[in-house]
Amino acid sequence: MTISATSVRFDEHTMWVELSDGRTLGVPLAWFPRLLHATPSEREQVELSRVGLHWEALDEDISIVGLLAGRGDVTRSTEHAA
């Protein structure tokens, strides 16, 4: 069975994703800087697909598999000590 998002809503610090299996995920907006800095209107322009969430204007894609695994924005580079 593939778990997909059925709706998305936001509060000041959190993105809430309702899933097709009945669970609700609360994810810190700090995990996704593009969403954190977006306006409420920009956040509302989310497109739901069977595999994730997409914001065309923000160039943001978030997979449900990644959210369930606890992954945030994987496009951010991480610094490594040499």
**The tokens of 53 are what?**
């969430």
User: Is 76 within the bounds of a domain?
Assistant: no
pLDDT at residue 81, as a whole number: 47
User: Is 1 within the bounds of a domain?
Assistant: no
Tell me the residue length of the chain.
82
Answer whether 39's CB lies under 8 Å from 23's CB. no
Task: Give the count of domains, the chain.
Answer: 1
For residue range 19-50, list pLDDT tens digits in order.
Answer: 999 999 999 999 999 999 999 999 999 999 99
Residue 2 binned pLDDT confidence (cut-offs 50, 70, 90): confident
User: Is 62 within the bounds of a domain?
Assistant: yes
Distance CA 8, CA 19 (A): 9
- The stretch 52-80 carries a mean pLDDT of 84
Residue 1 has pLDDT above 80, yes or no: no
| CATH number of 42's domain | 3.30.2020.40
User: Is 74 within the bounds of a domain?
Assistant: no
User: Is 82 within the bounds of a domain?
Assistant: no
Q: Which domain holds residue 50?
A: 7-68
Q: Residue for token digits 């009945």?
A: 22
Between 33 and 1, the higher pLDDT residue? 33
Distance CA 48, CA 72 (A): 18
User: Is 58 within the bounds of a domain?
Assistant: yes
Please give the model's pTM, rounded to 2 decimal places. 0.85
- The stretch 6-29 carries a mean pLDDT of 97
pLDDT at residue 74, as a whole number: 67
